[in-house]
Amino acid sequence: MLAQFGYGILVVTFVVALYSVTAAVFGYFNKSASLVESARRSMLLTFPLLSVAALSLIILLVQGDFGVQFVYEVTSKSMPTYLKVTAWWGGQAGSLLFWSWLMSAFASLATLRKWDRDREFLPWVIVVANVTLAFFVALNIFFENPFARLYQTFDGNIAAYTFAPANSMPFAPADGRGLNPLLRHPGMVIHPPMLYLGFVAYVVPFAFAIAALVTGRTDDRWIRITRRWSLWAWLFLSFGLVLGGRWAYDVLGWGGYWGWDPVEIAAFMPWLTGTAFLHSVMIQEKRGMLKQWNMILIILTYALVIFGTFLTRSGVLSSVHAFAQSAIGPSFFIFIGFTFVTSVGLLIYRWADLKAEAEMKSMLSREALFLLNNLLFMSVLVVCFWGVIFPLISELATGQKVTVGPPFYERANSPLFAALMLLMGIAPLSAWGHSTVATLGRAIWKPGVFAVGITLLAYATYTHNVIALIGFFLVALVILVTLYEFWRGARARQKTQGESFFAALARLTGRNRRRYGGYFIHISMMLMAVGILGIELFQKETQGTVQAGGTMELHGYTLVYKDIAQWDDFASGVNYTRAVVQVYKGDQLLTELHPRTDYYYESQQNMTIPGVRSTIADDVYVLLVDWEPASAIGATFKVYVNPLVNWLWVGSLLFLMGVIIAAWPEEEREPSAVRAKQNAHQTSAAD
């Protein structure tokens, strides 16, 4: 009964969403405020409706109603309650419902604001949000019903149906298959919601952009309204990527965090356009330029969000992250085409109205460098997009799917990322409107000299690798320039306000959170770059089979295989095989690691858990590859030493702080006379 009730709620939600779209369109063209308000209230109703549907599914999951196909596929009696709840997004049908639930929540929040200044936007924001919502709910209703029940026909066939077929009876297995072991890691409990939050949040700025195109509002009002939506969407998407990397590092057992997997890239592509958008909108706000470009970026971001969801759920790509083959692929393709063509058509229609209010007069101005930054992000996007779709094109053209591996992405993108890092060091020192080589040179020479000194120190003490030294120089340059900007601003305020240096720094950050939060983000990304350089350029690995008491050597470490044990945990349905490995540096015992292999009887799958010794300098990462109890051959281990990798995780924490600072409401501004005096001091300090 609960399954039928949940499905009925989905149908009602779909009807309400379509009514909201219809009422909003008619209300706009007939200038009927009451119809538009009815559309808004209908959209607000979708969230409680989908919450009821979601709660129904969660109850079925927790209670273990294995007569429901989705419950049977993703849960089992042995699973703890928290995993049964998070199994909601552990399968195709449930994840689509989760997407819809988040979409309705974000759309509702967006329409709860005051609309006094922007009443003409409201109906079209409703239309865009609810068309997207109706599409995802329709996928659940017509293709991937999370409430479909299992039935057994009289001839013995068992299948899932929304409604009971003739000559059949309900069928409920005694237990479920259980969640894929790879999805039981804490990272995968949090990683998908973070990605979905990022995906869904980007629908809001896209909806306002389309509303601006339809209504002809060519100013930057839609950007100002959605500024924090864009920041939070970017934060969620960024952390979704980082958490996915941590999950891969902890569970997949290949010693890394990023493998240029197609589904990884599908989530990375909207991050690229979203990052470009965050930089580009500042030019429109400051200078009234790049209006057309900003529209292109937000349309691309929305399209890539839907495209990434399509790639993950259609089954067209082979990936450890992707869901199985599904019939929803053609529907996704049609929806992507419809929304993209409609958006581009509106953009072409309003193209002339989106002309810039000023011209770019200096190639070294901040707006010019931001535009170059955008073009580099788009270049990375082109590389990634081509790599993802090439297997599909090759299969269509030749009948064989030719995949593109990590070397392609790394060789094509490395110089682009290096150029982006260089720009991060130069752009903060440039001025809006006009900059010269001389003014930039005077501003950058001090950080540049210190960066060269740090690079020489790295050459003398750490590495002679030219690529690594270039990377370390760029990292040092960006961090030093950013710290220099903090120092210049705080010193200028200290002179004008008579405050202590640290008080001036705190007040300066509070009054311009967006700028200085962005600087924190720049520093955090450079710390993450140190981790990336370390593992990409200096990772060491070895594999061998050793007897108990035997040793393995790698990069100055000695690993001693001491013992191994195997046992069953019948309550959890898992067989554990755990080795004991001691790690030495010279004669000093550093730690004892316990790499293991967990075999899940329900799903008949292994999960490899590495033993890891982590320091700020490196990780010693040990995997138990093979062991047979009846064999005298010994145990096989694969060992990695991953230098500097933990800077990636340290940087991600600082990244979180930077985005929170940037998105937080700013303090009240000082009077204009005080600001003018402070700006004068900052200008003189720069000279």
Q: What are the pLDDT digits (tens) for 189-211?
A: 888 899 999 999 999 999 999 99
Residues 53 and 156 occupy one common structural domain: yes
Alpha-carbon distance of 192 to 96, in angstroms, equals 11
Q: Does 145 lie in the same domain as 6?
A: yes
Residue with tokens 């990636």: 648
Residue 685 has pLDDT above 60, yes or no: no
459 and 599 inside one domain: no
Contact 530, 473 (CB under 8 A): no
The CA-based angle 184-187-188, given to 5 degrees, is 50
Q: Are 46 and 144 within one domain?
A: yes
**Judgement on whether residues 7 and 113 belong to the same structural domain of the protein:** yes
Answer whether residue 225 is part of any domain: no
Cα(126)–Cα(28) distance, integer angstroms: 11
Cα gap 194→103, rounded to integer Å: 13
Amino acid at 672: S
**Contact present, 282 and 220 (Cβ < 8 Å):** no
pLDDT digits (tens, 9 = 90+) for 90-127: 888 999 999 999 999 999 999 998 888 889 999 999 99
Higher pLDDT, residue 538 or 359 = 538
Amino acid at 615: T
Q: Is residue 48 part of a domain?
A: yes
Say if residue 629's pLDDT is above 70: yes
One domain for residues 454 and 565: no
| pLDDT category of residue 394 using cuts at 50, 70 and 90 | confident
Interval 376-395 mean pLDDT: 92
Question: How many domains are contained in the chain?
Answer: 3
Query: Residues 334-342: contacts with CB within 8 Å, 24+ apart?
Result: 335/135, 335/306, 336/303, 336/306, 336/307, 336/310, 339/131, 339/132, 339/302, 339/303, 339/306, 340/299, 340/303
pLDDT, tens digit (0-9, with 9 covering 90-100), for 19-64: 999 999 999 999 999 999 999 999 999 999 999 999 999 999 999 9
Report d(CA 163, CA 147) in Å as an integer.
10
Nearest Cα residue to 47 out of 82, 3, 9: 9
pLDDT of 686 reads 40
Average pLDDT along the chain: 90
Domain final residue, candidates 162, 179, 196: 179
401, part of any domain: no
Q: How far apart are CA 607 and CA 588, in angstroms?
A: 31
User: Residue 668: what pLDDT?
Assistant: 47
Assigned domain for 254 exists: no
Residue 588 and residue 444 share a domain: no
324 has a pLDDT exceeding 50: no
458 and 551 share one domain:
no
Is residue 150 assigned to a domain? Answer: yes
Taking alpha carbons only, the member of 487, 480, 477 closest to residue 685 is 487
- Do 79 and 113 lie in one domain? The reply is yes
Judged against a pLDDT cut of 50, whether residue 357 lies above it is answered with: yes
Q: Are residues 131 and 154 in the same domain?
A: yes
**Which domain covers residue 590, as residue numbers?**
540-646
Residues 526 and 545 in one domain: no
Q: How confident is the model at residue 315 (pLDDT cuts 50, 70, 90)?
A: low
Residues 498, 588 share a domain: no
Instruction: Please say which residue of 179, 194, 216 terminates a domain.
Output: 179
Q: What is the pLDDT of residue 680?
A: 44
Q: Where are the alpha helices (DSSP H) in 427-571?
A: 437-461, 466-497, 501-511, 513-538
Beta bridge partners of 637: 544, 624
Whether residue 613 is contained in a domain is answered as yes
| In contact, 524 and 654? CB cutoff 8 Å | yes
Q: How many helices (H) and strands (E) does the chain have?
A: 21, 13
Read off the pLDDT of residues 263-309 as tens digits, 9 standing for 90 and up: 889 999 999 999 999 999 999 988 889 999 999 999 999 999 999 88
Is the residue at 299 inside a domain?
no
Helix spans in 399-465 (H): 406-426, 437-461
Rounded Cα distance, 218 and 357, in Å? 11
Q: Please report which confidence band the pLDDT of residue 667 belongs to, taking 50, 70 and 90 as the band edges.
A: low
The alpha carbons of the chain give a radius of gyration, in whole angstroms, of: 28
State the CB neighbour count (10 A cutoff) for residue 477: 24
- What integer pLDDT is reported at residue 684 of this predicted model? 42
- Is residue 392 a part of any domain in this protein? no
**Which of 132, 156, 179 represents a domain boundary (last residue)?**
179
CA atoms of 668 and 391, how far apart (whole Å): 53
The per-residue pLDDT for 384 is: 95
Q: How does residue 683 score in pLDDT terms, banded at 50, 70 and 90?
A: very low
